[in-house]
């Protein structure tokens, strides 16, 4: 049995981010790759949607220039023939300030001819924003707001 495309992609992405070595990940990206990281683009410019290998490589280079992966755990992974879905937990370190960041995300990927053609990642951005700001964000209790409007 051959190795699933997801495992090669996952290792290559990890090496690209930590070692800033991009040749391997470049070879695993389809020319027309669709890449979306959902979250607050104004605060984190590497989030958002990109189309095409060149644009995706620029995002990966941007991420690699700013963070280092200290540890990651796959909480759950489901593999399809040419697809995969994972819930991941990361411990990151900012390169500039050495500030630790914990991150959780859900990732959905599709492959065509063993190359990544589509990736969608949903990031727990509320927690990420609190860590970036260095403080808790206090929101009103939604239940009490609804009760007050009646």
Sign of CA dihedral 96, 102, 105, 109: positive
What is the value of pTM for the model shown?
A: 0.82
State residue 45's pLDDT score: 87
Angle at 20 between CA 13 and CA 77, to 5 degrees: 15
Q: Would you state the pLDDT for residue 39?
A: 82
Q: What is the reported pLDDT for 137?
A: 67
The pLDDT of residue 116: 98
Beta sheet of 67-79, edge-to-edge order: 48-51, 29-38, 115-123, 100-112, 83-94, 67-79
> What's the CA gap between 59 and 80, in Å, rounded?
26
Tens digits of per-residue pLDDT, 83-115?
Answer: 999 999 999 998 998 988 888 999 999 999 999
* Helix/strand/coil for 4: coil
Q: Give the C-alpha separation, 135 to 117, whole Å.
A: 37
- Give every residue of the chain whose pLDDT is below 70, as ranges: 1, 125-129, 131-133, 137, 139, 142-150
Give yes or no for a contact between 142 and 59, defined as CB atoms under 8 angstroms apart.
no
User: Could you give the CA distance from residue 8 to residue 27 in angstroms, rounded to a whole number?
Assistant: 11
């Amino acid at each position: 049995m051959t190795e699933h495309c997801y495992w090669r992609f996952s290792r290559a992405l990890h090496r690209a981010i930590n070692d800033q070595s991009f040749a391997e990940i470049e070879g695993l990206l389809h020319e027309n790759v669709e890449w979306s990281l959902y979250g607050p683009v104004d605060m984190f410019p590497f989030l958002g949607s990109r189309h095409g290998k060149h644009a995706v490589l620029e995002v990966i280079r941007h991420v690699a220039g700013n963070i280092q992966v200290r540890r990651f755990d796959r909480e759950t992974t489901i593999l399809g023939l040419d697809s995969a879905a994972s819930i991941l937990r990361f411990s990151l370190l900012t390169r500039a300030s050495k500030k630790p960041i914990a991150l959780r995300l859900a990732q959905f990927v599709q492959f065509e001819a063993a190359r990544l053609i589509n990736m969608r990642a949903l990031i727990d951005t509320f927690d990420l924003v609190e860590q970036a700001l260095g403080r808790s964000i206090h929101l009103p209790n939604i239940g009490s707001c609804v009760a007050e409007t009646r």
